[in-house]
Amino acid sequence: MMKKTIGIVLAVALVVSVTATAMAFGPGYGMGMTGANLTPEQTQKHTQFQKDILPLKQKMLQLKTEIMTLRTAATPDWNAIAAKQKEMVDVRTEIQKKAAEAGISGFGPGLCKGGKGMGMGMSKMGRMGI
């Protein structure tokens, strides 16, 4: 019981530190936008988009942590893991929907519009991102 509690506390600390780090890098870090050739209007639009999806990004990290916890159980509950993975798909879809509504649907996890590079999306770090 104590090991499980410590594991959960460490997982929550990881989620908080990853979220804080992603936010410290500012707009574009989590979505793969380089920001080099953006107009002020595009930059403002993307900044607002990042603020709008922050709760969804936090939900994604929470689900990832829950899946890791479920997988490390002595007897993993594969039905619960599958349910959490389906929730992650729903969150990703919601982020994509919000991107389309914001007029920035050409951007996604780890991608740069126009093929200008690999981006720095969280997807490059173990698919923890969106």
For 82-122, what is each residue's pLDDT tens digit?
999 999 999 999 999 999 988 886 655 544 444 433 344 44
Instruction: Identify which of 92, 89, 86, 87 has the alpha carbon closest to the alpha carbon of residue 31.
Output: 92
**Residue 51 confidence (pLDDT) above 70:** yes
The whole model's pTM is what?
A: 0.56
* Extents of the domains making up the chain: 2-124
Answer whether residue 47 shows pLDDT above 70.
Answer: yes
Query: What is the C-alpha to C-alpha distance for residues 39 and 21, in angstroms, rounded to an integer?
Result: 25
Please tell me the distance from the alpha carbon of residue 92 to that of residue 64, in angstroms, as a whole number: 12
What's the CA gap between 111 and 49, in Å, rounded? 16
Q: Are 124 and 130 in contact (CB under 8 A)?
A: no
Among 13-17, 67-71, 112-116, the least confident range: 112-116
